[in-house]
Amino acid sequence: MTRRLLIVEDDPGLQSQMRWCFSDDLEVSLASDRESALALLRREEPNVVTLDLGLPPDPGGASEGFSLLEEILRLAPLTKIIVVTGREDKENAVKAIGMGASDFYQKPLDADILTFVVDRAFRLYELERENRELANQQNATNIKGIVAASPQMLQVCRTLEKIAPTDVTTLINGETGTGKELLARALHDLSPRASKPFAAINCAAIPEALLESELFGYEKGAFTGATQNKKGKIESANGGTLFLDEIGDMPFALQAKLLRFLQERMIDRVGAIEPISVDVRVICATHRNLNQLIEGGEFREDLYYRISEITLDVPALRDRDGDALVLAQSLLKSIGKELDRPNLSFAEDAISAVNNYPWPGNVREMINKVKRAIIMAEGKRVTAEDLSLQATSTQDEKCLNLRQIRETAERRALNQALQVSGFNMARAARLLGITRPTIYSLTDKYNIETSEASPES
């Protein structure tokens, strides 16, 4: 980390004396009044500031110093501020500490003590930064393979742990890529059936004509090509767990046969005379709204009640507070290891882009983007561009007035609408409830790219 120090001191003699106290491994900038101090704060983002309380226009008092202290802490609350006071100025030093300064230093200047105090402030800053990073990286679930720290996902995991030891038929609802199959496997792994098979079948991926024999198996001679008996998925899960993915896409005709199996726990292989008894726990998943399918006559209501003894609603990644970054960091580590690039980290623009992007394809989309970024990253730091995400400026978060707040919000909304619409301007304009000319003039105003970065970029 580059260590950046800002010295705010109006006496030019003291300024240069202080400057020379510090070795070259510090980047030092100098300000002699509030305005230049704030400009440097924004431009250099110093980690530590030494602040003389007696600044113009009140060099004999401390009012200007106090208001600058307040403003620095408001704009950059993580900055460590050391107030510099006169020898007799204990009261103001104590007041400044009460307001949030991390330390104080009394004139006259003593180089050894000053460097000691400043070094200590840098160490404190660094420790706090490491702490924040660790807290961000912490995976709060105990379930193997599931990375989550948000209250929304922790609630899902708690429910999962409660229902895992039972045999209740569970329906997992959630958008594509939210981890439904992963949760189904976790339910199996935490159940008494863990040592028995976990058989998964994707009802949407198998042609309707084949799905029945895939699920229920067939007897020799049942149809042309059936040269021997074959177990279906349900039978192959015997003793364990059957996972029916995309249950909303199960053909209507087959739903009745599945319902009978769920009621009687017996299956009829295609072409068989005798039913076979099977002991499986059933977990279903869908990204579709089954109630709507029922209303539209595409899904049987009685089957719905059978499969949803308990439902688990998996929130979209954008609705999990803080999970995007936790997941991105975990993926950067694990995929980085696989691809032989183990020591990468995210640049600041990547962190804010990960936090601001709505992740319509959820965790699966994130896996793809992180993989791409690991391949594309040129140095040790992965940028928003490597992730093919729009960089959102962190500086904007520290806006000072209504105009800037409005502009930040507009820029963010435009970026999100463009990402969600796949850079289709007409769709993005519709999402925002504005006309096409307006969206073009806004993207011009904010200098926003209106096409997706190509994979080569």
Ligand X SMILES: Nc1ncnc2c1ncn2[C@@H]1O[C@H](COP(=O)(O)OP(=O)(O)OP(=O)(O)O)[C@@H](O)[C@H]1O
> Which of the ranges 89-97, 171-179, 210-218, 254-262 carries the binding residues for ligand X, by CB under 6 A?
171-179
> How many beta carbons lie within 10 A of that of residue 120, not counting itself?
15
| CA separation for the pair 153, 163 (Å, rounded) | 15
- Tell me the residue type at 346: F
Q: Does 177 bind ligand X (CB under 6 A)?
A: yes
Q: How many residues does the chain have?
A: 457
Could you say which DSSP state residue 319 is in? G
Between 181 and 396, whose beta carbon lies closer to ligand X?
Answer: 181
* Ranges assigned E (strand) in 158-231: 170-173, 198-202
Q: Is residue 203 a contact residue for ligand X (CB under 6 A)? A: no
Give the nearer residue to ligand X in terms of CB position, either 62 or 284: 284
> Minimal CB distance to ligand X: which residue?
179
Q: Interacting stretch for ligand X, rule CB under 6 A, among 175-183, 382-390, 417-425, 428-436?
A: 175-183
Site for ligand X in 328-367 (CB under 6 A): 363-364, 367
Reading the block at residue 222, the tokens are: 């049942």
- Binding mask 236-265 toward ligand X (x if CB under 6 A, else -) reads ---------x--------------------
H or E segment and range at residue 75: helix 63-75
By CB under 6 A, the count of residues binding ligand X is: 17
For ligand X, which residue of 119, 128, 181, 396 counts as binding (CB under 6 A)? 181
| SS3 at position 131 | helix
Closer of 177 and 336 to ligand X (Cβ): 177
Residues within window 414-443 making contact with ligand X, judged by CB under 6 A: none
Instruction: Indicate the residue among 62 and 153 with the shorter CB distance to ligand X.
Output: 153
75/43 Cα distance (integer angstroms): 12
Query: From the list 55, 72, 148, 164, which residue makes contact with ligand X (rule: CB under 6 A)?
Result: 148
How far is the C-alpha of 364 from the C-alpha of 297, rounded, in Å?
31
Tell me the backbone φ, ψ of residue 360, rounded to 5 degrees: -60, -30
Q: Is 147 in the site for ligand X (CB under 6 A)?
A: yes
CA 3, CA 5: separation in Å to the nearest integer? 7
Give the x-and-dash track for 276-315 against ligand X (CB under 6 A). -----------x----------------------------
> With binding defined as CB under 6 A, does residue 176 bind ligand X?
yes
How many of the other CB atoms lie within 10 Å of CB of 14?
Answer: 16
Residues 2-61 that bind ligand X (CB under 6 A): none
Shortest separation between residue 314's beta carbon and ligand X, angstroms: 7
CA 342 centroid distance within chain: 20
Tokens in use for 456?
């080569």
User: Contact between 150 and ligand X (CB under 6 A)?
Assistant: no
Sheet arrangement for strand 198-202: 198-202, 241-245, 281-286, 170-173, 310-313
Residue closer to ligand X, measured from CB, 178 or 416: 178
Q: Which residues bind ligand X (CB under 6 A)?
A: 146-148, 174, 176-182, 245, 287, 327, 363-364, 367
